[in-house]
Amino acid sequence: KQEVTQIPAALSVPEGENLVLNCSFTDSAIYNLQWFRQDPGKGLTSLLLIQSSQREQTSGRLNASLDKSSGRSTLYIAASQPGDSATYLCAVRAAGNKLTFGGGTRVLVKP
Amino acid sequence: DAGITQSPRYKITETGRQVTLMCHQTWSHSYMFWYRQDLGHGLRLIYYSAAADITDKGEVPDGYVVSRSKTENFPLTLESATRSQTSVYFCASSDMAYLVWYNEQFFGPGTRLTVL
- Whether residue B49 contacts residue B31, with contact meaning beta carbons closer than 8 Å, is answered with yes
Contact A99 B105 (CB under 8 A): yes
**How many CA within 13 A on the CB side of residue A73?**
36
Max Cα separation, chain A? 43
**How many CA within 13 A on the CB side of residue A13?**
23
Determine if the peptide bond prior to A8 is cis (ω within 30°).
yes
**Mean pLDDT for all residues in chain A:** 93
Mean pLDDT of B49-55: 90
- Whether residue B105 contacts residue B45, with contact meaning beta carbons closer than 8 Å, is answered with no
Give percent of chain A above pLDDT 90: 80
According to the model, what pLDDT value does residue A98 have? Answer: 80
Strands B111-115 and A4-5: unpaired
Under the banding of pLDDT at 50, 70 and 90, the label for residue B102 is low
Q: Look at residue B97 and tell me whether its pLDDT is greater than 70.
A: no
Residue in chain B closest to A52 (alpha carbons) equals B102
CA distance B64 to B43: 16
Contact B42 A46 (CB under 8 A): no
Contact B102 A32 (CB under 8 A): yes
Contact residues, chain B, for A34 at CB < 8 Å: 104-105
- Whether residue A5 contacts residue A24, with contact meaning beta carbons closer than 8 Å, is answered with yes
3-state secondary structure of B65: strand
Based on DSSP, count helices (H) and strands (E) in chain A, helices before strands.
Answer: 0, 11
Contact A101 B43 (CB under 8 A): yes
The region that residue B36 occupies, defined by phi over 0 for left and psi between -120 and 50 for alpha, beta otherwise, is beta
- CB-based contact, B102 to chain A, within 8 Å: yes
Q: Which residues pair with B38 in a beta bridge?
A: B42
Q: pLDDT tens digit string along B18-32? A: 999 999 999 888 899
Rg (CA), chain A: 13
Residue in chain B closest to A40 (alpha carbons) equals B109
